[in-house]
Amino acid sequence: MSIIFIFVDGVGLGERNEKNPFFTTATPFFSSLLGGNKMTVEAAGKDYKEASLLALDARLALDGLPQSATGQTALFTGFNAAKLLGCHLNGFPNRALRGVLADHGIFLQLRRNSLQGTFANAYRPDFFDELKGGLKGYYSCSTLITYYGGLTFRSLDDLRRGEAVYMDITNVVLRRLGFDLPRITPQEAGERLVKIAGRFHLTLFEHFLTDIAGHNRDSSFAAETVTTLDAFLEAVVRDLPAGDLLLLTSDHGNLEDLTTKGHTANPVPALVVGKGRDRLVELLDKQGSITAVTPALLKQLTVDS
């Protein structure tokens, strides 16, 4: 079997109100998966015909608002990174968290179990220039687990060949930066992701415009981001082979509450799509925390491989 793991940065399960773009924006595909409901906290904890939606705790049993470095480390390793540090850490991983990612990143754990994983995101040329000297600066958790897992990073040449997806889904950010790449539709990006995933046991894709939109508190930008994500997800699920699964989850809340530019303490969604998802849903629900994600994915794949 193959699993597509879509990580959307800064998306919590908010309430049904006018400050939640997942409620105010038309999301026909999310609604079709969730029995006509929007992706809000009221829809969580239920099994639907094609999907299950869980609410995972992102607070990591620590006071304060969840943050990116500790939340993503927890997601991609299964370790309670905030407990390790004694605090929630924003931004990029520090030395201690890099050590956890180097020893326990999900791609490395896959390799130890003779499973193949890949990171579907494309990187710009300046990243590869920096990579020649090793990853000595500040980098995201997804970049670090790819590096420590010994995987190949995908380039803009891969993107041109349809063998990668950029973090913004449509290439619009790349075009604004002056790169000569065509804008693609969310549907085309979704089709690409499924095609890439066909060669691997686990394929990770990271989308972080959601977090940027939440910090900006721009309702138009937020609505556009949610609309793009909805269309992208529809294409992925439409082309998902029978027997494969999709998991969409996040590291902390943000976008679901435009009353604040900071993060929230809301639970994050774990949207699981596909037939045969019962075991993965049970594994995630049993622990109920973002630390359950990597162990649950590994158990699912090792049982079915």
Identity at 253, one-letter amino acid code: G
Residue with tokens 């359950």: 292
pTM, full prediction: 0.97
Tell me the chain's radius of gyration from C-alpha atoms: 18
The domain spans of the chain are 3-304
Q: Which of 120-124, 133-137, 173-177 has the lowest mean pLDDT?
A: 133-137
CA distance 68 to 208: 11
Using one digit for the tens of pLDDT, what is the confidence trace for 88-112? 999 999 999 999 999 999 999 999 9
215 by Cβ neighbours in 10 Å (0-12 / 13-18 / 19+) ranks as middle
* Of the options 3.40.720.10, 3.50.50.60, 3.20.20.70, 2.30.30.230, the CATH number for the domain spanning 3-304: 3.40.720.10
Band (162; pLDDT cuts 50, 70, 90): very high
Residue 236 CA: distances (Å) to CA of 2, 39, 192, 228, 276: 13, 17, 9, 12, 17
Q: Classify 280 in phi/psi space as left (phi over 0), alpha (psi -120 to 50) or beta.
A: alpha
**Residues 27, 40 contacting (CB under 8 angstroms):** no
**pLDDT per position as a tens digit, 224-275:** 999 999 999 999 999 999 999 999 999 999 999 999 999 999 999 999 999 9
- Which residues are 205's β-sheet partners? 6
From CA 93, how far away is CA 88, in angstroms rounded?
A: 11
Count other Cβ atoms within 10 Å, centred on residue 61.
Answer: 10
Query: Are the C-beta atoms of 26 and 37 separated by less than 8 Å?
Result: no
Q: Average per-residue pLDDT in the chain?
A: 97
Work out the pLDDT band at 82, boundaries 50, 70, 90. very high
Read off the DSSP letter of residue 41.
G
pLDDT of residue 133: 82
Cα→Cα distances 163→126, 153, 175, Å: 19, 11, 18
Residue 305, pLDDT above cutoff 60: no
DSSP 43: G
Contacts 24+ apart (CB under 8 A), 87-91: 87/62, 88/60, 88/62, 88/64, 91/67, 91/138
pLDDT at 12 over 60: yes
Please tell me the distance from the alpha carbon of residue 156 to that of residue 12, in angstroms, as a whole number.
Answer: 31
- Judge residue 150's burial from the number of C-beta atoms within 10 Å of its C-beta, 0-12 exposed, 13-18 middle, 19 or more buried: exposed
Burial class (CB within 10 angstroms; exposed 0-12, middle 13-18, buried 19+) of 233: buried
Average pLDDT over residues 164-169: 98
Residue with token string 């969604």: 269
Distance CA 67, CA 65 (A): 6
Percent of the chain's residues with pLDDT above 70: 99
**Alpha-carbon dihedral sign for residues 267, 269, 270, 275:** positive
